[in-house]
Amino acid sequence: MSKPASSGIQTSTDGQAFIPSSRRADGTTRKEIKIRPGYKPPEDVETYKSRSAEGWRSKGGRGVPGADDADTEQHEADGKSKNAKRREAARRKKEAEGQQGVDEAEAALGEMQLQTGQNENENEQEAERQKRIRNQVKKLRAVKELGTRRAAGEKLSADQLIKIAKEQEIVRDLLKLNYEGPELDQAPGPAIVEKRPD
């Protein structure tokens, strides 16, 4: 038998090609498969690689043939005319001055962004506070509705009674958030011991 190809096809001593039997993951056995003479699977077919294509692929990283990378800039500077050298010096000077202006503008922009960042942070905190207030007011309204239903004589479930018991906690949370809406003034039940923070 010969060495198996990448497709797994082997040849027996009498020249017959076959894929040998193998064992599946579940423990069952695959049968040996005979291959017709002359068949070459796609995995075993070698792709044609021309010399020029290989040359272009390997050429990409080397740069320009015969050029020295370090000396290129020096030769360009030597080959320039006097006026070209003056223009380049003026351009460099202008870039340096422009860079100073850019640095100053970036510093001013950084200060403005810092101030707006603080304002945005304050805005985010205020938005979060307003969101929590809305949530607590919604809960307080639901508790008050359950209280009126209970006062009307309706039977409430255990969960609803627990909600009614949490009314003082909800009012306390609203006071902590400095909420002074009409919902707090109408709060039925026992009086609130805590005072509003000033």
Asked if 1 contacts 11 with a C-beta cutoff of 8 angstroms, the reply is: yes
**Closest Cα partner for 140 from 193, 107, 181?**
181
pLDDT value for 85: 87
pLDDT value for 190: 44
- Does a structural domain hold residue 1? no
pLDDT value for 49: 80
- Does a structural domain hold residue 158? yes
pLDDT value for 54: 78
For the chain, which ranges sit under pLDDT 70? Answer: 1-5, 59-79, 101, 114, 117, 185-198
pLDDT value for 67: 66
**Domain interval for residue 164:** 80-185
- Does a structural domain hold residue 18? no
- Does a structural domain hold residue 174? yes
**Closest Cα partner for 139 from 114, 108, 116, 171?**
171
- Does a structural domain hold residue 24? no
- Does a structural domain hold residue 139? yes
In angstroms, the CA 166 to CA 155 distance is 18
Overall number of domains in the chain: 1
- Does a structural domain hold residue 3? no
Q: pTM of the predicted model, to two decimals? A: 0.37
Q: Which two tokens stand for residue 80?
A: 């320039």
* Burial degree of 156 (CB within 10 A; 0-12, 13-18, 19+): middle
Give, in order, the Cα–Cα distances in Å from 194 to each of 164, 184, 197: 19, 13, 9
- Does a structural domain hold residue 9? no
pLDDT value for 74: 55
